[in-house]
Amino acid sequence: MTALLTQNVFWIITIVKVVLLLVIVLTVDAYLTWFERKVVAHIQSRWGPHRVGPHGLLQPAADGLKFLFKEDPTPAGVDRFAYYLAPFLALALSLTALAVIPFGPKPIVLFGQKIYLWIANPDIGLLILFAITALSVYGVALAGWASNSKYSLLGGLRGSAQMISYELSLTMSVVGVLLMANTFSLQGIIEAQANAKHGIGILGWNIFAWTHQGLFWPQIIGFICFFTSAMAETDRAPFDLPEAESELVAGFHTEYASFKFAMFFIAEYTAMITVSCLATILFFGGWLSPFPQSSFWLWQLTHYIPSVTLIPFGLWVIYDGIKYETIFGKLILPGVGAAMVAIGAALIAFPAVNEFIQPVFWFTAKVFVFLFFYVWARGTLPRLRYDQLMNVGWKLLLPVSIANVIVTALVILLRRYR
C-alpha cells in the first residue's frame, strides 16, 4: 500500500490539487453570483439579496438547493444526445481551462515533495487555454440547436457566431504580450514582467512595460482589446444579446431547466474567473506586487499589506455583526470577522507564511478587481444590438489588435537593433 503511494506521489498530489481547485472555484462561483447581485443592486439604488442569511450571504446556498430540487423536464422533439451533451460540454471545458493557471511562484514543500501552486505548467499554456476557449463554442451552438425551439436556435446561432468572431481579436490582442515575453507558458509571462534585476514593481507590468533598455510600448491597447473581446466571448453584458431576457426569452438556454441551466450558469461564471485570471497574468503582472522588491525599508513595509487589509475589515465585520438585526447574523458575522482578524494577526506573527502568502494575495486581489469590472460593466452599460456587436468585433477590435501586434513587433525590433 505504501509502495503504491510512494511510487505514484505525483498523481496523488495532482488529484488532490484538482479536487481542491474544483471545490474552491465552485464556492467562488457561488459567491460571485451573490457579489454580482449585490453590486448591480447597489448600482441601481436597491439592496439586492439581504434576507437569506446575514447580508444575503446564504442566497447562493438557497439558489443551489432550488436548482437541485426543481423539476427537470425534457422538451419533446429534442435531439437527445446533443441536448444532454451541451451543458456538460460547456461546464467541463470551463473548468478544464483553470488547470493551466498559476496561482503563485513558490512551491509548498511538504514531506519532501515540492507542491507547486498550479495543476499544469506546459510550455504552451496560453495556446491550450485558447484551444479550450475555441471548443466552448460547441456548448452554445449545440444547446441552441438541440432544443427544437425558435428562440433557442436564434440565440444559439447568434451566440456562437459572436464567440467565434471575438476569438480572433482575443488571440491577436495577446500576441503583443507574447512577443515581449518570448514564451507561451503563463508562468514564463509573469516572470518576464518581474524585471528581477531592477525590481520596478508596477511599472514593469505589461500594461506599462517600462524597461531600462530604451524603447518600450505599453500594452494598454492590447489590454482594452483583450478585455472587451473576453467580455464578448463569455457572453456577458454589454454583449449578452444571445441570452438577453427581454429579447429572446433566455436565448440558447431557454429549454434547459434546473440543474442543466445551473451548469450553463456555472460555466459562464467560471469563464469570467478564467478571463480575469488571464487578464491579470498577461497584462497586470500576475502575482507580482505593485511595489518594487528591493530591500528599502518602505518597500519591505508593504509586505504587511495583507494584514493591514484583513484586520480592519475583520474588525468592521465584527462591529457590523454585533449591531445586526437577526440573531443568526449576530452569531455568524462576528465569527467571520474574528476569523479574519486571527488570520491577519497570524500573518504578522509568522513571517515565513507572510512571504508565501504575498504573491497569492496580490493575484487574488487583482482577479477580484477584474471581476468587479465585469459586474460594473453589466450594471452600467446598455446592451449592444447584434449588428453593432459584430461590427465592433470585426471592424474595430480586429484591426486595432493587429495594429498593436505590428507596433509591438516594430518596437522590439528597433530596441534590439538600434
Is residue 134 a contact point for other proteins (CB under 8 A)? yes
Q: How many residues bind other proteins (CB under 8 A)?
A: 27
Q: Cis ω on the peptide bond leading into residue 238 (within 30° of 0)?
A: yes
Give the length of the chain.
418
Q: Give the three cell numbers for residue 14.
A: 495532482
275 contributes a contact to other proteins by CB under 8 A: no
Alpha-carbon gap, residue 359 to 353, rounded angstroms: 11
* Distances 240 to 56, 155, 226, 231 between C-alpha atoms, Å: 26, 10, 17, 9
CB atoms within 10 A of CB 370: 21
Question: Which residues are CB-neighbours of 206 under 8 A, at least 6 positions away?
Answer: 177, 180, 181, 193, 218, 219, 222, 223, 282, 283, 284, 285
Provide, rounded to whole angstroms, the least separation between the CB of residue 167 and other proteins. 7
| Stretch of residues binding other proteins (CB under 8 A), selected from 57-65, 129-137, 237-245, 409-417 | 129-137
Q: How far is the CB of 294 from other proteins (least distance, A)?
A: 34
Is 232 a binder of other proteins (CB under 8 A)?
no
Among 103, 130, 362, 370, which residue interacts with other proteins (rule: CB under 8 A)? 130
399 belongs to the binding site for other proteins (CB under 8 A): no
- Footprint (CB under 8 A) of other proteins, residues 176-195: 184
Q: Which stretch binds other proteins (CB under 8 A): 34-42, 78-86, 95-103, 265-273?
A: 78-86
- Please choose, out of 19-27, 55-63, 118-126, 340-348, the segment that lies near other proteins by the rule CB under 8 A: 118-126
* Contact status: 141 vs other proteins (CB under 8 A): yes
Q: How far is C-alpha 267 from the geometric centre of its chain's CA atoms?
A: 11
Query: Dihedral of the CA atoms 407, 409, 414, 417 (nearest 10)?
Result: -170
Task: Report the distance separating Cα 312 and Cα 301, nearest Å.
Answer: 17
Binders of other proteins in range 234-273 (CB under 8 A): none
**DSSP letters of 149-177?**
-HHHHHHHHHHHHHHHHHHHHHHHHHHHH
**Which range of residues in 140-148, 190-198, 227-235, 365-373 is near other proteins by CB under 8 A?**
140-148
Question: Considering only residues 19, 20, 61, 131, which one is a binding residue for other proteins as defined by CB under 8 A?
Answer: 131
Distance from C-alpha of 122 to C-alpha of 109, rounded to nearest angstrom: 21
Q: Is 79 in the site for other proteins (CB under 8 A)?
A: yes
**Contacting residue, 21, 153, 343, 346, with other proteins by CB under 8 A:** 153
Query: Coil, strand, or helix at residue 8?
Result: coil
Binding residues for other proteins, rule: CB under 8 A, are: 79, 81-82, 85, 122-124, 127-128, 130-131, 134-135, 137-138, 141-142, 144-145, 153, 156-157, 160-161, 164, 167, 184
